[in-house]
């Protein structure tokens, strides 16, 4: 396995009370190469590609109610 690289990630909430969350995540070397290739093909910054992917996961697995955040449920699109 290759060396794991560290990248910074900033997420913006999609509600009217937007806030930014900064976090670190680790990706495998082969995933880093794929993200770099996607970045070159799409003309987007690698962190923006990761933000979009994580945003899609959040939308897909959002809890059914704001009050119940402990149980995640798959929302079929």
DSSP string, 47-66: HHHHHHHHHHHHHHT--SSS
Which residues have CB under 8 Å from 41's CB, separation 6+? none
Split at pLDDT 50, 70, 90, the class of 13 is very low
pLDDT tens-place string over residues 23-74: 777 788 888 888 899 999 999 998 888 888 888 888 888 766 666 555 656 6
CA separation (Å) from 74 to 11, 18, 54, 68? 21, 24, 15, 14
User: How confident is the model at residue 41, as a pLDDT?
Assistant: 94
**Domain ranges, ordered by start, for the chain:** 5-60
Split at pLDDT 50, 70, 90, the class of 2 is low
Split at pLDDT 50, 70, 90, the class of 8 is low
């Amino acid at each position: 396995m290759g060396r794991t690289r560290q990248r910074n990630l900033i997420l913006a909430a999609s509600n009217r009370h937007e806030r930014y969350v900064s976090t670190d995540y680790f990706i495998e070397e082969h995933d880093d190469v794929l993200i770099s290739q996607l970045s070159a093909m799409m003309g987007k910054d690698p962190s923006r590609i990761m933000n979009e992917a994580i945003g899609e996961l959040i939308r897909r697995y959002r809890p059914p109610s704001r009050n119940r955040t402990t149980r995640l449920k798959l929302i079929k699109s």
